[in-house]
Chain A
Amino acid sequence: GNSVTQMEGPVTLSEEAFLTINCTYTATGYPSLFWYVQYPGEGLQLLLKATKADDKGSNKGFEATYRKETTSFHLEKGSVQVSDSAVYFCALRGNQFYFGTGTSLTVIP
């Protein structure tokens, strides 16, 4: 079946630190992969996506590369800001969307 496993949080970083949030998946076939972000009190917003192996999705300084050989889609950012504090969800698209449990990130000044 389809599933997504995310690195557990919470993650606390200082401003300008490097961020990695790990995500691995199990799927039949070659699903599209997504990262969504949820700010406090808001719905989920699409952050980035990749539709095939070796694709790199990027947005707002965040990047993730679709690695078929390791079934991974890790989220990275070189220098986080306080405004990046949110919950991040990895997801895959199979016959419907499957989400990880989310990783809470807090960036302190």
Chain B
Amino acid sequence: GAGVSQSPRYKVAKRGQDVALRCDPISGHVSLFWYQQALGQGPEFLTYFQNEAQLDKSGLPSDRFFAERPEGSVSTLKIQRTQQEDSAVYLCASSLAAMGGSGNTIYFGEGSWLTVV
């Protein structure tokens, strides 16, 4: 597609429920990122994929968070046993090159707005 596509756009989950958020990056983009954006804050890094390899998951806040990109294109961020503090916008972004390239620009999707009640 023309841009990064995320679904669902809005999700309300009951505390303890598992959720899965999908990201479809720009076709051909090697790098894929997940960010978490709390209300009134900037995006905070969660994890990074280069093709299907998860090279950095240092930002995942707990072992309840899991991300995958099995075929190097679509990615899923899964949150198990959701808690109220997980309420945030989850942003997916992609870039054409691997992170080693200079001036690499990332392009964001519109985000998945998660509310845990």
Interface of B is mostly: loop
Size class of the B contact interface (CB-based, 8 Å)? 20 to 34
Determine which of B40, B45, B103, B110 lies in contact with A97 in the assembled complex, contact meaning CB atoms within 8 Å.
B45
Interface size, chain A (Cβ < 8 Å): 22
A-contacting residues, B11-65, CB 8 Å? 33, 35, 40-45, 48, 56
Given known contacts A95-B99, A97-B33, A43 and B111 CB-to-CB distance under 8 angstroms: yes
Most chain B CB inside 10 Å of its own CB: which residue of A45, A89, A95: A95
Smallest CB separation, B6 vs chain A (Å)? 8
Please, which residues of chain B bring their CB within 8 A of the CB of A95? Answer: 56, 99
Residue of B nearest to A99 (CB): B42
CB within 8 Å: A-B pair count? 54
Chain B residues positioned under 8 Å from A96 (CB to CB): 33, 45, 48, 56, 99
User: Which of chain B's residues have a CB closer than 8 A to the CB of A101?
Assistant: 40-42
Cross-chain pairs A/B with CB under 8 angstroms, 30 sampled: A4-B42, A32-B103, A41-B110, A42-B110, A43-B4, A43-B91, A43-B108, A43-B110, A44-B91, A45-B108, A46-B107, A51-B103, A89-B42, A89-B43, A93-B103, A93-B104, A95-B56, A95-B99, A96-B33, A96-B48, A97-B43, A97-B93, A97-B106, A98-B45, A99-B35, A99-B44, A101-B40, A101-B41, A101-B42, A102-B40
A interface residues with partner B (beta carbon < 8 Å): 4, 32, 34, 36, 41-46, 49, 51, 89, 93, 95-102
